Homo-oligomer: A and B are copies of this chain.
Amino acid sequence: MTAVIGHRNPDTDAITSAIVYARYLSRTGREATPYRLGELNFETQYVLREAGLETPALLESLPAGSEVALVDHNESAQSLPGLETLKVVAVVDHHKLGDLTTAEPLYLRFEPVGCTGTILARLFIENNVHIEPLEARLMLSAILSDTLHFRSPTTTDVDREMVAFLAPIAGIADVKAYAMAMFAAKSDLGDTPAETLLKMDYKVFEFGGQPWGLGVVETTNPGYVLGRKAELLEAMRAEKAASGLAGVLLSVVDILEETNRTLVLSEDEAAVLRAAFGVEVSGDEADLGSRISRKKQIVPALEAYFA
């Protein structure tokens, strides 16, 4: 039995790709079960509810030597604790290659596209594996989520083609309406605690040998999030101290206007933002303009600055 997992602080791609790839593996001769490494965000909850699917079980650890397949991530800091003791048999991902190494040959499939769901759809097609409506719906949802319905600069032609290919199989006639419903669900932040908002889409990266925490809140309603700035800064301060981070950033991304306003905790972060992005920082907010992709626009600039 192979456990299929997406990254911690899962987004829609991490969860749906684990579900879809486990189904793909099971149908092509390797028994597999999808798991999640954390709580689902509201968008993902909406996607699974609309698909009539249960939430995958939470996985906290696996015995050494267990077989595992990774989707939508490959760095140990974003994966199951003790990953180095497990046998990674496959990775399907669209991120840069991090610290993963293996003792044996394995299946690796990385493509520089907008979403793991796009690569999974290609796998089904290439190997003539039948795509069920449920699977088409999950892959399509992931692509819409990761590309912000093609607004993100990470979007490629292949992502667009796959959505066009998958929509009729999924029985989704109005893709735009479905995307808007997903984004509305995501933006329904209600009385979500500030700690949860910070961690909703949050990853730790190493820059210049030091850990930085980068959170993103993608919303159709940035005013609501920015209205809770004091609470959020307090949650960032607590997280920075508790996890011994060199810095922590929280970007509030307006997915309709495609703007990024990033909360600035202290001069540590302000100095780096000024130097890495050439922006002015005054007070506790920085206007990062149209840099809405952490993977393509935020992380590379920070890496270039620290290198």
Residues of A within 8 A of B (CB): 94-113, 126, 295, 300, 303
Contact = CB atoms under 8 A, between A and B. Distances in A.
Nearest to A107: B111
A113 B102 CA distance: 15
A22 B43 CA distance: 42
Contact of A97 (B100, B112, B126, B300): B100
A306 to B, nearest CB: 11
Give the dominant DSSP class at A's interface: loop
A105 B101 contact: no
Nearest to A94: B105
A102 B94 CA distance: 12
Nearest to A126: B126
Contacts of A113: 105
B106 A108 contact: no
B96 A102 contact: yes
A287 B98 CA distance: 39
Contacts of A99: 101
Contacts of A103: 96, 300, 303
A173 B126 CA distance: 29
Contacts of A303: 103
A162 B303 CA distance: 42
Nearest to A92: B108
Contact of A105 (B95, B106, B107): B95
A110 B105 CA distance: 8
Contacts of A105: 94-96, 110-113, 295
Contacts of A100: 97
Contacts of A96: 101-106
